[in-house]
């Protein structure tokens, strides 16, 4: 019978965590990922039937009762997941009362889900309301995006426009722009609630001086979203290193034209009339 460790879900988590580490988005234990699996997908594996442990979630996740999440462990290094997925990843089912995480597979040395798991689940709840296909929450520490949060005003319109203007692809990939919360302590329910509120409107939320929270249908799509945002921020950094003077740019009319051409609706009010 098929073993979960050999599944495409584990393989994809290994790929994405490793690639993310190689891009300097996840130093040490920085970053965490969760991906929703359907009961049909889980049923294909006979080594994920038993509940090995129950963990308190610390908030009411009942809208996700019975849902399965493959999630990275707290304190685990993204660079190591690929070599030991059964230790650094866990497959969780949300209990019927929404208060507990039931561990079905993984965390073989007694580990626990990421400290940001409540934030992930709160964001999953919001993203599912926007689009029931959304399965992934991905948190990481992309260098140039974090740098922007020091040099720029923390305003959604301003930072979204800046990122849109750095390359033609930005507005196609994140036409809603990016959301921003105030600086907050990581791992708390408070940062989870603030992030989830933004997730009703945005697919990516900037945590100032910390990183990004991104959502998507698949791991590839979510990774791609972070890639495009970080690339735009990197171009901005490079402009700085070339003297910082912008001689010409993509105009608001040109941004509107790209969005129209690709059938995207830019965030209302972010482009000038
Ligand atoms: P975890 O090791 O608990 O996943 O935390 C990493 C992190 O990036 C916190 O924001
Ligand atoms: Zn973090």
pLDDT at residue number 205: 99
Residues 113-135 have pLDDT tens digits of 999 999 999 999 999 999 999 99
Q: Which two tokens stand for residue 118?
A: 């409540």
Ligand 1 pocket member 114 (CB < 6 A): yes
What's the mean pLDDT in 188-192?
98
What domains can you pick out in the chain, each with its CATH number?
Answer: 1-114 (3.40.225.10), 116-273 (3.40.225.10)
Partners of 119 in the β-ladder: none
Residues 10-28 have pLDDT tens digits of 999 999 999 999 999 999 9
Ligand 1 atom closest to the CA of 31, numbered from 1:
8
Is residue 133 part of the annotated active site? The answer reads no
Query: For residue 187, how far is its CA from the centre of ligand 1 (angstroms)?
Result: 7
Q: Do the beta carbons of residue 90 and residue 103 sit within 8 Å? A: yes
Residues 64-107 have pLDDT tens digits of 999 999 999 999 999 999 999 999 999 999 999 999 999 999 99
Q: Rounded CA gap, 10 and 8, in Å?
A: 6
What's the mean pLDDT in 51-55?
97
Ligand 1 atom closest to the CA of 115, numbered from 1:
3
Ligand 1 pocket member 116 (CB < 6 A): yes
Going across the sheet that includes 68-72, the strands are 53-56, 100-106, 89-94, 68-72, 32-37, 136-140, 211-216, 204-207, 179-180
Q: Rounded CA gap, 152 and 170, in Å?
A: 18
SS3 call for 3:
coil
Report which protein residue has its CA nearest ligand 1's atom 1: 74
User: In this structure, which ligand is nearest to the CA of 30?
Assistant: 1
Ligand 1 pocket member 28 (CB < 6 A): no
Ligand 1 pocket member 188 (CB < 6 A): no
Ligand 1 pocket member 184 (CB < 6 A): no
Candidates 193, 211, 225; CA nearest to 30 is: 211
Query: For residue 207, how far is its CA from the centre of ligand 1 (angstroms)?
Result: 13
Ligand 1 pocket member 29 (CB < 6 A): yes
Q: Rounded CA gap, 57 and 35, in Å?
A: 17
- Signed CA dihedral, 230, 113, 180, 147: sign only: negative
pLDDT at residue number 1: 76
Query: For residue 250, how far is its CA from the centre of ligand 1 (angstroms)?
Result: 36
Query: For residue 212, how far is its CA from the centre of ligand 2 (angstroms)?
Result: 8
What's the mean per-residue pLDDT of the chain? 98
SS3 call for 265:
coil
Q: Please tell me which residue in 19, 50, 53, 116 is annotated as part of the active site.
A: 116
Helices 219-241 and 143-151 pack at an angle, to 10 degrees, of 50
pLDDT at residue number 243: 98
């Amino acid at each position: 019978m098929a073993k979960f460790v050999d599944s495409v879900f584990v393989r994809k988590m290994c790929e994405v965590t490793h690639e993310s580490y190689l891009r300097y988005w996840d130093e040490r234990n920085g970053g965490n990922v969760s991906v929703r699996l359907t009961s049909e997908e889980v049923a294909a594996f006979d080594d994920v039937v038993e509940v090995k442990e129950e963990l308190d979630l610390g908030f009411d996740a009942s809208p996700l009762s019975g849902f399965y999440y493959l999630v990275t462990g707290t304190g685990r290094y993204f660079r190591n997941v690929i070599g030991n997925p059964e230790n650094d990843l866990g497959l969780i089912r949300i209990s019927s009362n929404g208060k507990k995480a039931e561990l079905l597979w993984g965390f073989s040395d007694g580990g626990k889900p990421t400290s940001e798991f409540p934030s992930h689940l709160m964001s999953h709840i919001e993203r599912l309301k926007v689009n029931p296909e959304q399965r992934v929450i991905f948190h990481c520490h992309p260098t140039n995006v974090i740098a922007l949060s020091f040099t720029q005003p923390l305003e959604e319109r301003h930072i979204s426009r800046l990122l849109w203007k750095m390359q033609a692809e930005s507005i196609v990939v994140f036409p809603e722009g990016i959301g921003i919360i105030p600086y907050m302590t990581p791992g708390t329910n408070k940062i989870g609630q603030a992030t989830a509120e933004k997730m009703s409107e945005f697919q990516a939320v900037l945590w100032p001086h910390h990183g990004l929270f991104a959502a998507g249908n698949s791991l590839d799509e979510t990774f791609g979203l972070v890639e495009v945002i970080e690339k735009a921020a990197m171009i901005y950094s490079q402009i700085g290193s070339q003297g910082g003077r912008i001689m010409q740019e993509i105009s608001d009319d040109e941004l509107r034209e790209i969005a129209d051409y690709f059938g995207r609706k830019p965030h209302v009010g972010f482009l000038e009339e």
